Amino acid sequence: MTLLPSSDALATGGCSHAPPPREEAAPPRPSVALYDDQALTRAGLAALLRSRSIEVVGTAPVDLAHSFDGALTPRPDVTLVAIADQGVELAHRLSRENGSPLLLMLNAPPDGDRLLAVAATGAGGAVCRECPPERVVRAIRSVAAGGMFFECAHRPPDASPAPQLLSERECHVALELARGAQTEEIAETLYISPHTVRTHVRNIKRKLGARTCAQAVALAITMQLVTPQAP
């Protein structure tokens, strides 16, 4: 909320002292529908998210038969589903029911190939049970804002050097995309214009043969062109 001088002060040409400072706008509070088959994990994760100013609109096992009774009201900003190797289709059904983008929580840190498989499903991103709380919160905020988040990955220690398919700046842009940054944020971080960011993104997709940004990021990680932080 912006604090302004009173109407009386405006009518008399102002007052003798400075107007009160502006209040910083509170960050948006995203909402989450949380699905996990482990009751204790659901309760702990829900408590953690609420402590980080994220609204948890409901929790349930990853099972449509025991899920929420109909679509959630209000609609969550993110559907967070914990899955093992199976269950991606069910996760997407839950996401469609809720009308919100899907964030997957995997059992272990995925390598690039696993992230590529996640990106191919159309999910907005992935975290894992070993991720620190701050990373999970950033992932939720990024996906809720319409972005993606693929920072949860690791590079095998014996990996061979990556081919130079992308320029240094394109690698920087791809890394910021993996971290869930939006166009404006990337522009500010790299000191370039949003138009230049969009040009780099188009070039990255073209060079990697990707149809979407999520696929481009997953391919960049799989091909070891960028290395997001490991948990």
3-class SS at 106? strand
- Alpha-carbon distances, residue 151 vs 85, 126, 146, 162, 214 (angstroms): 19, 8, 16, 18, 12
3-class SS at 174? helix
> Residue 128 has what pLDDT?
92
Angle at Cα 183 formed by Cα 177 and Cα 186, nearest 5°? 65
What CA–CA distance (Å, rounded) separates 9 from 176?
47
Weakest-pLDDT range from 6-15, 54-63, 93-102: 6-15
Answer yes or no: is pLDDT of 187 > 80: yes
pLDDT in tens, 100-152: 999 999 998 888 788 888 888 889 999 999 999 999 999 999 999 999 999 88
Average pLDDT over residues 30-38: 93
Average pLDDT over residues 34-54: 94
* Rounded (10°) CA dihedral 41, 46, 48, 51: -170
> Residue 113 has what pLDDT?
80
Name the superfamily (CATH) of residues 31-144: Response regulator (3.40.50.2300)
Angle at Cα 210 formed by Cα 88 and Cα 98, nearest 5°? 35
pTM exceeds 0.85 for this model? no
Asked: is 168-222 a CATH 2.40.50.140 domain? The reply is: no
What CA–CA distance (Å, rounded) separates 61 from 157?
36
- Parse the chain into domains and list their residue ranges: 31-144, 168-222
